[in-house]
Amino acid sequence: MLDGRINDVRGRTSGASSVWRAPGMPALLGSTALGFAGTALLMPVAPLWVLDGGADELGAGAVNAVMMLCTVIAQLLVGRVLGRLGWRWTLTLGACLLGAPAPAHLLTDDVWAVTALAAVRGLGFGIVTVCGAMGVAVLVEPARRGRAVGAYGLAIAAPQFLLIPIAPWLAERVGYWLVFMLAVVPLLAIPLALPVARALRTSDRPTADPARPGKRRDAAGLRRVLAGPIAALLAITSAGGAVLTFTPRLDPDPTTVYLALLVFTGTSALCRWAFGGFADRRGAAPAIAPLLFVGAAGLAAIGVGTARGPDMAGRVLLIAGMLVVGVAYGGLQNLTLVHAFAAAGEESRSSVGTAWNVGFDAGTGLGALAVGAVATSTSYPVSYAVLAVVTALVGLGWAGSRWRGAKGCRESSG
């Protein structure tokens, strides 16, 4: 009863203020931004480090793939960790695991050692991502969730926009040591854990959804409603994993690589924020299939541009493809999460937050590993062609399910 009154008051009082100023949101967004800053610095640089040390593309792809695998493992365990440690110490643990291993890269460029460091970082990243998504769902009421997810997405995308393009450039022009030392930045999020925990009113207590009227979905029903948005998320984050891992190898010119990553991260940051308002006004589902087709077109352009080689036309296609993929990558991150929350219901928001983050990071790791494997045996253009086809097929599947659902509604109403 008390939880219900708290949420009623929150719903009445927070509607007039910005989601950015909701209690606990500034600290949660700051913590998220610092965590993703450390990840953004190493996502393109750790694979480049092992490539320069003599590894092949498959080994380089394995670095980020293992990080994402450990991220997924951690995400599946976050609920239990929160139950034992509470929000404050769980967030602190995530920041330590994510930031502390970064300087150890200076000791070796051996692919196995760097992969082991990536595994530790992945555990911290899994904690940070699930806590962020769950926290947003609790701190802001459903009527403004699209904008709240947009703000959360901007906290994720802004450090990626600023750091992913510059990190490989800094590594090659200044030195890897600078990137590895800067990547301890998640440790700065430790002081923010306390205000986040206070705002969520679960400090040092197990996390749980408030008791609400209505029936919680069973596991089968939850899997059924989440299958569509998670499939769309897997497709686009596989593309993102490939872009973030291998763009520094697509062109020999560091300036071209910088511009390509800048365009990709900048566009995705803008679209992740912009699609929040769209989702609140129009709903998330109608835009998912079109954005998957947009992503497929962008991936095809990247493949063609890479196949042409480092001439003007090839570089224009590469950068244009990055822009188009960035639109789909940013927009679908927002829309799939908002749609998943809406389809599953408030009682399942913790499960949705975990499932969405698992899908996001599994797709990122799968894209890095798959493109590395295909590029090792064939070429980068073939890898991007495969990604484009898979993304388009998922778009067709989503459009078909929407059409069948609309047809069923018309027939039942008739």
In whole angstroms, what is the distance from residue 207 CA to residue 35 CA? 21
Instruction: Report in angstroms the alpha-carbon separations of 265 from 72, 253, 293, 369.
Output: 23, 19, 19, 21
Q: CB–CB of 114/102 below 8 Å?
A: no
Q: Which of 284, 359, 355, 347 lies closest to 138 in space, CA to CA?
A: 347
pLDDT band at 199 (very low <50, low <70, confident <90, very high): confident
The reported pTM is 0.75
In the chain, helix, strand, coil percent, each to 5? Answer: 85, 0, 15
pLDDT band at 225 (very low <50, low <70, confident <90, very high): confident
Which tokens sit at 195? 């205000």
In whole angstroms, what is the distance from residue 60 CA to residue 82 CA? 33
Mean pLDDT of 54-83: 88
Q: Is the pLDDT of residue 61 over 90?
A: no
In whole angstroms, what is the distance from residue 101 CA to residue 211 CA? 40
pLDDT band at 160 (very low <50, low <70, confident <90, very high): confident
* pLDDT of res. 349: 67
Q: Which of 365, 384, 377 lies closest to 295 in space, CA to CA?
A: 384
Q: In the block, which residue shows the tokens 């399942």?
A: 348
Which tokens sit at 147? 């904008």
Ordered DSSP codes for 93-143? HHHHHHHTTGGGGGG---HHHHHHHHHHHHHHHHHHHHHHHHHHHHHS-GG
Q: Is the pLDDT of residue 390 over 70?
A: yes
Angle between helices 219-246 and 380-413 (to 10 degrees): 150
pLDDT over 90 percentage in the chain:
42
Q: Which residue has the higher pLDDT, 410 or 330?
A: 330
pLDDT over 70 percentage in the chain:
85
* pLDDT of res. 70: 94
Q: CB–CB of 97/127 below 8 Å?
A: yes
Q: CB–CB of 361/75 below 8 Å?
A: yes
What structural domains does the chain harbor? 17-208+217-413 (1.20.1250.20)
Using one digit for the tens of pLDDT, what is the confidence trace for 326-384?
Answer: 999 999 988 888 888 777 776 776 777 778 888 888 898 889 888 888 988 889 999 99
* pLDDT of res. 284: 72
* pLDDT of res. 1: 36
Using one digit for the tens of pLDDT, what is the confidence trace for 283-340?
Answer: 777 889 999 999 999 999 999 999 998 889 999 999 999 999 999 999 998 888 888 8
Mean pLDDT, the chain, rounded, equals 83
